[in-house]
Structure 1
Amino acid sequence: MIPDISSPLSLPLSSPLLAVENLTHRFGALSACENINLQLYPGEVLGIVGESGSGKSTLLNCLAGHLAPSEGRVMFSTRHEGVVDLYKISEARRRLLSRTDWGFVHQSARDGLRANVSAGANVGERLMAIGARHYGNIREEALHWLDRVEIDANRIDDLPRHFSGGMQQRLQIARNLVTKPRLIFMDEPTASLDVSVQARLLDLLRQLVSQLHVAAVIVTHDLAVARLLAHRLMVMRQGQVVEQGLTDQVLDDPQHPYTQLLVSSVLQA
């Protein structure tokens, strides 16, 4: 039985895994996101929703170390060094975090996979990036993670281009999870898939997030995806957070007119 992770989460009393303070990012005179504050705890899933151009993807890229904010701080609680300011450490240390403590699942699996190497090598490559060298152990771990994401073991030597879109996305998930990260960023992970494939992938994501107790930040325009995966929800409009709270509370009893419009547009569809 798959646990329902959409129910309210009992958060630990310890410090948050990720803390964002007054984060702003500008493209010239335009504020893509402005004065964002949030905290994310181990095992918690935060959904960020809003229409195209609302700033949600810009915020995700700032959180994931891809885009330096114009103002504010992104604090991360590392395994061995305590809390660090993401944009005050070196780029080399950020890259190491992205290979160990973090994962990033792109909307298009092609952006997150190496097209010219096999499925097994795509998974094993991330292990090699943190020092693994024993071929047998790497291949065994790759097989384990292919099984976890429901890819048959006999496909381990196939190139990603021979996989369906849903299988490519599952392979990208395996590649990200093999190093046992504590935080996963997901940018519209099901948007490019057919509805039936979306349902299967969402079911898999829900299982893995719950079983591995991994924290996640998921950007989506699909409120059904947010309801299924996220404990808490942030609603963004024109670069600002206009409403946030427990997912079911925000979607069942929206307070801000913009959130009400988003919810009603889904009900009328």
Structure 2
Amino acid sequence: MSLSETLEASVGGITSAAKQPLLSVDSLTRVYGNRIGCTDVSFDVWPGEVLAIVGESGSGKTTLLNCISSRLTPTCGTVRYRMRDGISAGIYKMAEAERRYLMRTDWGFVHQNPIDGLRMTVSAGANVGERLMAVGNRHYGNIRGAAIEWLERVEIQADRVDDQPRTFSGGMRQRLQIARNLVTEPRLVFMDEPTGGLDVSVQARLLDLLRGLVSDLGLAVVVVTHDLAVARLLSDRMIVMKEGRVIEAGLTDRVLDDPRAPYTQLLVSSILQV
């Protein structure tokens, strides 16, 4: 095959991949005894897209996030992920070891409380470097260099590389958790209330950082939030949930500027009145 034919085939493969969803959720349901966590939820996430899942406390958004990120097994329904080789695989048909590897490499998960996503008794550099070791990196100098580079990228000074996260502020811990997740260049990142519990000024700074990183890296992101301002700033599309069900879905600006479901109208109007 000539060079031009090789390039054409490569570009054709990329174009074809871009036309396929990265994550496909079909009829997902999770029940806890007689209580519904989420029920009959279906949607796709496309490469480079940010999808927000919004709703009040108890709406089922966190249950849904945990199910699609393999942290919680659904009662029924399927979650399929398109691997780097282009094959779409059911994540609950994978072996447990395969799912764990996927979570350490191709996926990221940013917790609301950074303590849940960091090792608090090792250094900031070790927190970032640990993910690199999970994908086979063993050269100490390269790992430390990459850790410093990512700390600076999330606005943490390089001279803090040997400090433990317990000496960091809440905003710094969250930025460190983001660096830890992104250092392996994942294609899909799950975020659970990433700005929750932070001061308004810290939230604004973190959101600017997240928006820049998502754009620069071309990440696909599923973000759970109760804050519609966060959803508007970060997401391309939005799913609104109530009592475990999807009430409304669509482009973020359309849903927020022209909500059609009464529940969504109530959510939007309550924010505007604050």
Report what 2:131 is aligned to. 126
Report what 2:4 is aligned to. none
Supply the RMSD in Å over aligned alpha carbons.
Answer: 1.1
Match of 2:48 among 34, 40, 43: 43
Report what 1:176 is aligned to. 181
Unaligned runs of 5+ in 1: 1-10
Q: CA deviation at 1:165?
A: 0.4
Relative distance call for 1:45 and 1:12 in structure 2 (3 A) is farther
Equivalent position SS for 2:20? coil
Question: Is the contact between residue 113 and residue 172 of structure 1 (CA under 8 Å) also seen in structure 2?
Answer: yes
1:96 aligns with 2:101: yes
Relative distance call for 1:177 and 1:13 in structure 2 (3 A) is closer
Q: CA–CA distance in 2 between the matches of 1:140 and 1:246? A: 40
1:67 maps to amino acid: L
Equivalent position SS for 1:248? helix
TM-score by length of structure 2 reads 0.93
Equivalenced residue count is: 259
Q: CA–CA distance in 2 between the matches of 1:183 and 1:81? A: 15
TM-score by length of structure 1 reads 0.95
Deviations 1:81-102 (A, max 9, x none): 7111000110100000001110
Q: CA deviation at 1:12?
A: 7.3
1:14 aligns with 2:39: no
Match of 1:107 among 109, 112, 134: 112
Q: CA–CA distance in 1 between the matches of 2:212 and 2:17? A: 21
Match runs of 1:64-103 below 5 Å = 64-80=69-85, 82-103=87-108
Deviations 1:30-60 (A, max 9, x none): 1110000000011000000000000000000
1:225 aligns with 2:230: yes
1:149 aligns with 2:154: yes
Unaligned runs of 5+ in 2: 1-15
Q: CA–CA distance in 2 between the matches of 1:218 and 1:232? A: 11
Q: CA–CA distance in 2 between the matches of 1:224 and 1:180? A: 27
Deviations 1:146-173 (A, max 9, x none): 1110100000000001111000000000
1:244 aligns with 2:242: no
1:32 maps to amino acid: G
Q: CA–CA distance in 2 between the matches of 1:52 and 1:242? A: 15
Question: Is the contact between residue 91 and residue 99 of structure 2 (CA under 8 Å) also seen in structure 1?
Answer: yes
Question: Is the contact between residue 12 and residue 41 of structure 1 (CA under 8 Å) also seen in structure 2?
Answer: no
Q: CA deviation at 1:80?
A: 3.1
Question: Percent of counterpart pairs with the same letter?
Answer: 65
Equivalent position SS for 1:181? coil
Equivalent position SS for 1:87? helix
Relative distance call for 1:213 and 1:60 in structure 2 (3 A) is same
Equivalent position SS for 1:267? helix
